[in-house]
Amino acid sequence: MRSGIGIGVDTGGTFTKVMAVLRDGTILRERQMPTRPDAGPRDFVRRVSEAVRQEEAELGARSVGVGLAIAGDVDSDRGLVRFSPNLRKFDRYPLRDALAGELRRPVFVENDATMAAWGGFVVELRRRAKNVLVVAMGTGVGGGLVIGGRLYHGSTGSAGEIGHTAVEPGGAPCTCGARGHVEAYAGSYGIVRLARTFLRGRRSLLNRLCPDPSKLEPRLVAEAAGRGDAVAKRVWREAGRRLGLAIADAVYLLNPDVVLLSGGVSRAGRLILDPVHEVLREQPFKTPFEAARVRIARTANLGAIGAGLLAFE
Quick one: 172 or 310, whose CB is closer to Zn ion? 172
Nearest approach, Cβ of residue 178 and Zn ion (Å): 5
Sequence-ordered list of residues with C-beta below 8 angstroms from that of 291, at least 6 positions apart, any chain: 255, 257
Query: Nearest approach, Cβ of 144 to Zn ion (angstroms)?
Result: 16
Tell me the one-letter amino acid at 130.
K
Q: How far is the CB of 189 from Zn ion (least distance, A)?
A: 12
- Minimum distance from residue 172 beta carbon to Zn ion (Å): 10
* Per-residue b or e along 150-174, where b marks 16 or more CB atoms closer than 10 Å to that residue's CB: ebbbeeebebbbbbbbbbeeebbeb
Q: What is the dihedral of CA 243, 249, 250, 253, to 10 degrees?
A: 180
CB closer to Zn ion out of 129 and 162: 162
Report d(CA 134, CA 5) in Å as an integer. 24
Nearer residue to Zn ion within complex by CB, 174 or 210: 174
* 132-137/141-147 β-pairing: antiparallel
CB nearer to Zn ion: give 174 or 261. Answer: 174
**Positive/negative CA dihedral, 134, 135, 137, 140:** positive
Q: How far is the CB of 180 from Zn ion (least distance, A)?
A: 9
**Which of residues 99 and 174 has its CB atom nearest to Zn ion in the complex?**
174
Say if residues 123 and 110 touch (Cβ distance below 8 Å).
Answer: no
Nearest approach, Cβ of 171 to Zn ion (angstroms)?
Answer: 11
Please tell me the distance from the alpha carbon of residue 14 to that of residue 36, in angstroms, as a whole number: 7
Binding positions for Zn ion, rule: CB under 5 A: 164, 174, 176, 178, 181
Closer by beta carbon to Zn ion, 27 or else 176: 176
As a whole number of angstroms, the distance between CA 170 and CA 154 comes to 27
